[in-house]
Amino acid sequence: MARWSGEVEFEFIGDEEEGSFIATKQVVPQLTNLLARGEIEQAVLLYEDCESSVASELLDGVNALSSISKANLGEMFLLARDFSNAAKVFEIARRWADAARTFEQAGDFAGAAQSYERQGEHLKAAAAWDRAGAPERAAELYAKLEPSEAEAEFHARRQRYWHAALVYHKLGNVRLEVSMLRMVPLDDPQRIPAVKRLGDLLERHGYVESSAQLLVDTVKQVRSAQTDAKLLADLCRRLEVLGRSEQAARVRDFAGKALAGRQGMQPALSAGSERDESGSVATGPVGPVEPTPHVDAYARLKAIPIFGSLALQDMRDLHRIAEEVKFADGATVIEQGQLGAGLSIILEGAVHVVRIDDSARQVSLAHLKAGSYVGELSLIDDSPASARVVADGAVQVLRISPERFQQFLYSHEAAALRIFKLFTRTLAERLRQANQRA
| Mean pLDDT in residue range 46-52 | 83
Rounded mean pLDDT of the chain?
Answer: 85
For the domain with range 297-437, which CATH number is right: 3.40.640.10, 3.40.50.970, 2.60.120.10, 3.30.70.260? 2.60.120.10
Angle at 356 between CA 351 and CA 362, to 5 degrees: 65
- Please report the pLDDT score of residue 160 as a whole number: 94
Lowest mean pLDDT among 12-16, 182-186, 313-317: 12-16
Does 12 have pLDDT greater than 70? no
Q: Which residue has the higher pLDDT, 338 or 382?
A: 338
Helices 122-131 and 402-411 pack at an angle, to 10 degrees, of: 30
CA distances 396 to 168, 191, 254, 294, 337, Å, are 22, 34, 48, 12, 22
Angle at 202 between CA 197 and CA 206, to 5 degrees: 145
- Please report the pLDDT score of residue 34 as a whole number: 93
Does 290 have pLDDT greater than 50? no
Helices 191-204 and 174-182 pack at an angle, to 10 degrees, of: 140
| Mean pLDDT in residue range 384-397 | 93
- Please report the pLDDT score of residue 152 as a whole number: 93
Does 103 have pLDDT greater than 90? yes
- Please report the pLDDT score of residue 254 as a whole number: 82
- Please report the pLDDT score of residue 21 as a whole number: 45
- Please report the pLDDT score of residue 18 as a whole number: 59
Cβ count near 337 (within 10 Å):
13
Does 228 have pLDDT greater than 70? yes
Does 392 have pLDDT greater than 90? yes
Angle at 410 between CA 151 and CA 123, to 5 degrees: 35
Does 47 have pLDDT greater than 80? yes
Does 144 have pLDDT greater than 60? yes
Percentage, residues of the chain above pLDDT 70: 86
User: Domain residue spans in the chain?
Assistant: 2-134, 151-270, 297-437
Quickly state the pLDDT bin for 91 (edges 50, 70, 90): very high
Does 347 have pLDDT greater than 90? yes
- Please report the pLDDT score of residue 42 as a whole number: 92
Strands 8-13 and 373-374: unpaired
- Please report the pLDDT score of residue 20 as a whole number: 52
- Please report the pLDDT score of residue 296 as a whole number: 84
- Please report the pLDDT score of residue 359 as a whole number: 86
Does 80 have pLDDT greater than 90? yes
- How far from each other are the two terminal CA atoms of the chain, in whole angstroms? 48
Quickly state the pLDDT bin for 27 (edges 50, 70, 90): confident
Identical topology for domains 2-134 and 297-437: no
Give, as one character, the DSSP assignment of residue 64.
Answer: G
Does 36 have pLDDT greater than 90? yes
Residue 99 makes CB contacts below 8 A (sequence gap 6+) with 87, 88, 90, 91, 111, 112, 115
Pinpoint the alpha helices (H) of 62-183.
Answer: 67-79, 83-92, 96-105, 109-119, 122-131, 135-144, 149-157, 161-171, 174-182
| Mean pLDDT in residue range 35-51 | 90
- Please report the pLDDT score of residue 15 as a whole number: 55
| Mean pLDDT in residue range 209-216 | 93
| Mean pLDDT in residue range 86-115 | 95
| The architecture CATH gives domain 151-270 | Alpha Horseshoe (1.25)
Does 368 have pLDDT greater than 70? yes
Does 273 have pLDDT greater than 50? no
The pTM score is 0.73
| Mean pLDDT in residue range 245-265 | 75
Class of domain 2-134: mainly alpha
Percentage, residues of the chain above pLDDT 90: 59
SS3 of the chain: helix, strand, coil, percent, to 5? 55, 15, 30
Does 365 have pLDDT greater than 50? yes
Cα gap 413→152, rounded to integer Å:
19
Cα gap 112→134, rounded to integer Å:
13
Does 318 have pLDDT greater than 80? yes
